[in-house]
């Protein structure tokens, strides 16, 4: 018997049904094809409807589980450290988290966030840290989206000795709220001693998050290379390594207005890996001479015992290692005035402008010298700020120096009322640290100041004074890597003969053509002062060509003056050598920042 449908070996239909399908096919769009596919699949699987229902429930459940995004914006590493701690804290509580640095955050997708925890420090005059600048500009612009679904909390880090205390955190908090965001907790503004505040805030925030049903899955972005480096670098701010001093040499001339030291440390017995762009954290000690002067003026015996972090130690040891003695602050003046009841100081603290001026002009020692008073050792400790480590840009590449790490230290010197006052850390490093001495250190990673991965790309390095330090590490690394990209340095200082830091090295790199060009600005070698920004404008046409060729721009130096003047000069160069106006140039520069082609290490 013949088969009625000759095609049934290929299709499970008779000819009539095939003809009907062909008619439908001719009049359908792609979207309709897709719908029919799903429709017929559903009919074919009606017996599995319960399974489908369960899958849908699971899918819906997965999509209602909200990730807690934790962003850190750090200047000296404290915000980054707290963000990691808070991430671990939430992970231990089975929360779904995404930990990320502000520089890596795709801030244009912030409208999709449900939970956002932002831990942010400040730099300069209350400004956001470098890695959060693009995020800050975006969120403050007209491009910022509505954040009606956002639940957020901000932990702001600052220093109460500055007028604009935690201003960056305050700005983000205000703007998030204006855009419709809802606070999980009120913003917390923390001073340099933030541990108790952090513990209280983290516990209260966990309670706030627990009121909402969220995921029990933990997620953490990690770079394999960074993970390896973190395993090697077991030393931290609170568990520093002990290195040995190999070299401590002044590198400015005898007649220089600046005192700059090149310091080399032996790390051969330490598991330390660093990258050009990183900073070295230094735990310093206060001057014995300074301590004795303060104790004598306050009639305190150096062997008196005080309680510091639940330990009884001598007041001398406490002042040596645990408290800041070289920086005066408004809070110190206020506390000292309250304890001493000094009429002059009482009058000073009643006027904020007078208090600001007094703090700027009067070191702690001078204040005590002018208004001495017999205090107990514990009263003295109560008015002081805790000592914090100082960070210095690393001025060497480990590829070249192997078991050494180098830093370039500018000594802070102030002559006040006929007395020379040295900076706490810079004075310790330059005046008291001798060859073979031990020093406590740690590496502070700076992923926002990195050489390009593409070694053929040109780079432009702009720095004044000790801002030259990281560029020494950059050029050493480029030399070691055999990089073919062009290298251009802009460097400024007062005098050619006295202040040309690492002059012989730069000449060597020029001679071997690794350094393509060096543009120097000596502000006091002629009547009319010439600064680094003048050299940028002078070379504007060529600089713009380098930018068009894909050059990455790096700036290192003073945030409040030098870095701002340089940025203005760059905007002028962009505008004058392209069709952009100043506003468009600003957007272009910010775009370079986002693409990591404009990186700054400012302080």
Binding-site residue numbers for NADP(+) are 523-524, 529-533, 565
> Nearest to residue 578, comparing CAs of 537, 541, 536?
541
Q: CA end-to-end span of the chain, whole Å?
A: 94
Instruction: Give bridge partners of residue 438 from the DSSP assignment.
Output: 244
> Nearest to residue 260, comparing CAs of 504, 549, 17, 501?
501
The answer to whether the beta carbons of residues 532 and 283 sit under 8 Å apart is: no
Instruction: Give bridge partners of residue 123 from the DSSP assignment.
Output: 127
Find the angle CA(286)-CA(156)-CA(86) to the nearest 5 degrees: 95
494: Cβ contacts below 8 Å, ≥ 6 apart: 256, 257, 258, 522, 523, 524, 525
Count Cβ atoms within 10 A of the Cβ of residue 510 and give its class: 0-12 exposed, 13-18 middle, 19 or more buried: middle
Sign of CA pseudo-dihedral 105, 108, 114, 120: positive
Give the span between the Cα atoms of 578 and 581, in whole angstroms: 8
> φ and ψ at 545, to 5 degrees?
-60, -40
> Nearest to residue 570, comparing CAs of 527, 539, 531?
539
Give the span between the Cα atoms of 74 and 391, in whole angstroms: 13
- For 278-346, give the DSSP string: -EEEEE----HHHHHHHHHHTT--TT-EEEETTEEEEHHHHHHHTB--S---HHHHHHHHHHH--HHHH
Q: Which residues are part of a known binding site for FMN? A: 74-79, 121-124, 157-166
H/E run at residue 181: none
Q: Which residues are part of a known binding site for FAD? A: 326, 360, 390-393, 408-410, 423-426, 603
**What angle do the packed helices 562-576 and 582-594 form, to 10 degrees?**
110
Q: Which residues are part of a known binding site? A: 74-79, 121-124, 157-166, 326, 360, 390-393, 408-410, 423-426, 523-524, 529-533, 565, 603
Give the span between the Cα atoms of 490 and 535, in whole angstroms: 8
């Amino acid at each position: 018997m013949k088969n009625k449908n000759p095609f049934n070996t290929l299709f499970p239909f008779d000819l009539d049904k095939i003809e009907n399908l062909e008619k439908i096919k001719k009049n359908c769009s792609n979207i309709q094809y897709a719908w029919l596919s799903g429709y017929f699949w559903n009919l074919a699987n009606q017996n599995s409807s319960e399974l489908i229902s369960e899958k849908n429930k699971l899918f819906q459940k997965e999509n209602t589980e909200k990730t807690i995004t934790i962003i850190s914006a750090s200047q000296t590493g404290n915000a980054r450290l707290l963000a990691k701690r808070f991430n671990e804290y939430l992970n231990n509580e089975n929360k779904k988290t995404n930990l990320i640095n502000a520089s890596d955050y795709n801030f244009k997708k912030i409208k999709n966030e449900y939970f956002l925890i932002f831990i942010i420090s400040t730099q300069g005059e209350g400004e956001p840290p470098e890695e959060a600048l693009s995020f800050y500009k975006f969120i403050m612009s007209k491009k910022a989206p509505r954040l009606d679904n956002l639940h957020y909390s901000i932990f702001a880090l600052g220093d109460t000795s500055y007028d604009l205390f935690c201003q960056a955190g305050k700005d983000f908090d205000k703007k998030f709220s204006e855009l419709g965001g809802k606070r999980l907790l009120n913003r917390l503004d923390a001073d340099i001693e933030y541990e108790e505040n952090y513990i209280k805030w983290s516990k209260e925030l966990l309670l706030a998050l627990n009121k909402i049903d969220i995921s029990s899955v933990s997620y953490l972005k990690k770079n394999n290379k960074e993970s390896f480096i973190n395993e090697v670098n077991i030393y931290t701010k609170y568990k520093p390594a002990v290195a040995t001093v190999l070299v401590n040499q002044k590198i400015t001339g005898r007649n220089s207005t600046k005192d700059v030291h090149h310091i080399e440390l032996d790390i051969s017995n330490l598991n330390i890996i660093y990258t050009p762009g990183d900073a070295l954290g230094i735990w310093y000690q206060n001057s014995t001479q300074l301590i004795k002067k303060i104790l004598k003026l306050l009639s305190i015996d150096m062997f008196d015992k005080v309680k510091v972090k639940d330990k009884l130690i001598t007041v001398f040891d406490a002042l040596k290692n645990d408290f800041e003695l070289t920086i005066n602050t408004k809070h110190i003046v206020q506390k000292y005035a309250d304890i001493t009841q000094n009429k002059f100081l009482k009058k000073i603290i009643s006027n904020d402008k007078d208090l600001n001026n007094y703090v700027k002009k009067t070191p702690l020692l001078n204040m005590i010298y002018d208004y001495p008073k017999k205090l107990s050792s514990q009263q003295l400790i109560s008015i002081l700020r805790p000592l914090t480590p100082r960070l210095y840009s690393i001025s060497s590449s480990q590829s070249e120096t192997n078991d050494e790490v180098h830093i370039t230290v500018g000594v802070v010197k102030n002559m006040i009322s006929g007395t020379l006052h040295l900076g706490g850390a810079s004075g310790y490093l330059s005046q008291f640290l001798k060859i073979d001495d031990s020093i406590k250190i740690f590496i502070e990673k700076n992923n926002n100041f990195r050489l390009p991965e593409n070694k053929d790309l040109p780079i432009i390095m702009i720095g004044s004074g000790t801002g030259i330090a990281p560029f020494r590490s950059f050029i050493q690394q480029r030399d070691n890597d055999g990089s073919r990209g062009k290298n251009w340095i802009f460097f400024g200082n007062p005098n050619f003969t006295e202040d040309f830091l690492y002059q012989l090295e730069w000449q060597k790199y020029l001679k071997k053509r690794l350094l393509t060009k060096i543009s120097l600005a000596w502000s006091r070698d002629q009547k009319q002062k010439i600064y680094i920004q003048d050299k940028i404008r002078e070379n504007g046409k060529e600089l713009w060509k380098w930018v068009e060729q894909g050059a990455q721009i790096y700036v290192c130096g003073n945030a409040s003056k030098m870095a701002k003047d340089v940025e203005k000069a760059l905007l002028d160069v962009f505008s004058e050598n392209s069709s952009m106006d100043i506003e468009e140039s600003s957007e272009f520069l910010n775009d370079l920042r986002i693409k990591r082609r404009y990186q700054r290490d400012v302080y």
